[in-house]
Amino acid sequence: MADTDVLRARFVRALEGVRGPGGGPGPVPYADNLIARWQEPQRHYHTLAHLTAVLDHVDELAGHADDPDVVRLAAWFHDAVYLPDRSENEERSARLAERALSEAGVPAGKTAEVARLVRLTVTHDPADDDRDGQVLCDADLAVLASPPSAYAAYTAAVREEYHFVPSDAFRAGRADVLRQLLALPRLFRTPYGSEHWEATARYNLRGELEMLSTPAPPPA
**pLDDT tens digit string along 161-183?**
999 999 999 999 999 999 999 99
The CATH number of the domain holding residue 177 is 1.10.1300.10
According to the model, what pLDDT value does residue 216 have? 63
**pLDDT tens digit string along 83-134?**
999 989 999 999 999 999 999 999 999 999 999 999 999 989 999 999 999 9
Rounded to whole angstroms, how far apart are CA atoms 74 and 93? 10
Question: What is the average pLDDT across 44-71?
Answer: 98
According to the model, what pLDDT value does residue 135 have? 98
How many structural domains does the chain have?
Answer: 1
Kindly state whether residue 42 falls inside one of the protein's structural domains: yes
Kindly state whether residue 159 falls inside one of the protein's structural domains: yes
- In terms of residue numbers, what domain contains 190? 4-213
According to the model, what pLDDT value does residue 20 have? 81
**pLDDT tens digit string along 197-213?**
999 999 999 999 999 98
> Residue 215 pLDDT > 90, yes or no?
no
**Is the separation of the CB atoms in 90 and 78 below 8 Å?**
yes
Question: What is the average pLDDT across 63-73?
Answer: 98
According to the model, what pLDDT value does residue 21 have? 79
Calculate the alpha carbon distances from 22 to 8, 84, 99, 105, 114 in Å: 16, 37, 19, 9, 20
Kindly state whether residue 218 falls inside one of the protein's structural domains: no
> Residue 2 pLDDT > 80, yes or no?
no
